């Protein structure tokens, strides 16, 4: 594991109230697409 690599600080924990991991595959009404898009736009340059 790289401790001080280029991609080690670009993480964000997203807690989705009342959701479990598998809900994020099917329940598109609870998926935070806006936060995911912002994260990708900020970190994939």
Q: Give the DSSP H/E element, type plus range, for residue 9.
A: none
Domains in the chain: boundaries: 1-45
25 neighbors 43 (Cβ within 8 angstroms): no
- Report the chain's mean pLDDT, rounded to a whole number: 84
How many other C-beta atoms can be found within 10 angstroms of the C-beta atom of residue 32?
14
Over residues 30-43, the pLDDT tens digits come to 989 999 999 889 88
* pTM to 2 decimal places: 0.63
27 neighbors 19 (Cβ within 8 angstroms): yes
């Amino acid at each position: 594991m790289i401790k001080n690599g280029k991609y080690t600080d670009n993480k964000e924990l997203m807690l989705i109230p009342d959701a479990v991991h598998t809900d994020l595959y099917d329940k598109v009404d609870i998926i935070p697409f806006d936060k995911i898009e912002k994260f990708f736009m900020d970190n994939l340059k």
